[in-house]
Structure 1
Amino acid sequence: MSAWPLPLDTLPRLQQERLFSLAEERDFDANSRLFDEGDVADRFWLIRSGEVALDVYVPGRRAQVVETLGPRQQLGWSWIFPPYRWHLGARALGSLRTWEFSAAEVRELCEADPKLGYELMLRCAAMIADRLQATRVRLLDLYTPHGNLPS
């Protein structure tokens, strides 16, 4: 790997190498379900190419897409916090190429290298904040009647 994907490309080189020593290249076909809301979150991915739709289950309706992720973005953060369950679902929109990481191995690495753990968690926390805001905006767009938005 010559270029490291965001959000991890700003990690010190040695920490990048330690983390990526755990990565496996993994490809998905178009329309593959990577995970469903509520399933065990035991891994995460960095997208090399392609796009993934994040969706939320809505009773009586089909899953609603709340965000689309693409190259150089991290897919998955639910692996960080017990009980390690996905908060959303994910589906490949087309052919998808990723680096896949085992959550348990990454957590062990973070415990063994607290500096790496701290840096990784800072990046994940920023990603979580961005995703929650994007989800909030999308849900408001889906469920707020037009014309009833506060001014």
Structure 2
Amino acid sequence: MTAPRRLLRVLPAGHRERLMTLASEVSFEQSQRIFEERGTADRFWIVRSGTVTLDLRLRGSRPTAVSSLETGDLLGWSWLFPPFQWDFGAEALSPVRAYEFQGPEVQALCDEDPAFGYALLRVVVEILAHRVQASRTRLLDLFAPHAGQTGSLGGP
């Protein structure tokens, strides 16, 4: 699969300008949790600088990193779909600066301007398809070597 497309780079100029009217600039310190898996998803970010790690709680209480995001990447998509809960957790791996968007405001803009909504959704879905594949590959890398060691009936 090809590399993910950057939302602001590929969104048509007029739509990009409309979206940016809703942006506010935020920053996160290194090691700061940005959101927790299963928490309320009501916003998203576009990373301006720094690195963010996406993680899942797979074993125990410590999150397992499954992906990292860098400059230009979209952080957060769960604000688009009920039940509006994060599917991953996120943490600033380094100091991060980002544009923050409130989900309800962007959804209202999508409803007001269906062409904008369609263009935004197409780019977000392409990014998600790439992320699902990358996360799947990462999880296989983490757990495939241990697949035969589950201790299940009939197994080694």
> How many residues matched?
144
Q: Which residue of 2 aligns with 1:77?
A: 77
Does structure 2 conserve the Cα–Cα contact (< 8 Å) formed by 1:34 and 1:92?
yes
Report deviation, 1:17: 1.1
Does structure 2 conserve the Cα–Cα contact (< 8 Å) formed by 1:23 and 1:101?
yes
For residues 69 and 11 of structure 2, the distance between their equivalents in structure 1, rounded to whole angstroms, comes to: 21
Does structure 2 conserve the Cα–Cα contact (< 8 Å) formed by 1:8 and 1:120?
no
Q: Which residue of 2 aligns with 1:35?
A: 35
For residues 147 and 119 of structure 2, the distance between their equivalents in structure 1, rounded to whole angstroms, comes to: 43
For residues 147 and 41 of structure 2, the distance between their equivalents in structure 1, rounded to whole angstroms, comes to: 39
Structure 2 unaligned regions, length at least 5: 149-156
RMSD: 1.6
Does structure 1 conserve the Cα–Cα contact (< 8 Å) formed by 2:11 and 2:123?
no
Q: Which residue of 2 aligns with 1:54?
A: 54
For residues 145 and 125 of structure 1, the distance between their equivalents in structure 2, rounded to whole angstroms, comes to: 31
Name the aligned partner's letter for residue 42 of structure 1: D
Does structure 1 conserve the Cα–Cα contact (< 8 Å) formed by 2:54 and 2:65?
yes
Name the aligned partner's letter for residue 13 of structure 2: R
**Pairing 1:1-151 to 2, within 5 Å after superposition:** 6-145=6-145
For residues 67 and 129 of structure 1, the distance between their equivalents in structure 2, rounded to whole angstroms, comes to: 14
Give the 3-state SS of the residue equivalent to 1:59 in structure 2. coil
Write out per-residue CA displacement over residues 109-142 of structure 1, whole angstroms, 9 at most, x where no aligned residue.
0000100000000001011111111110000000
Closer/same/farther in 2, CA of residues 109 and 142 from structure 1, 3 Å limit: same
**What percent of counterpart residues are identical?**
45
Write out per-residue CA displacement over residues 1-39 of structure 1, whole angstroms, 9 at most, x where no aligned residue.
xxxx92222222221111100000000100010000000
For residues 10 and 127 of structure 2, the distance between their equivalents in structure 1, rounded to whole angstroms, comes to: 14
Name the aligned partner's letter for residue 73 of structure 1: D
Closer/same/farther in 2, CA of residues 63 and 10 from structure 1, 3 Å limit: same
Between Structure 1 and Structure 2, whose CA radius of gyration is higher? 2
Runs of 4+ residues deviating >4 angstroms = none
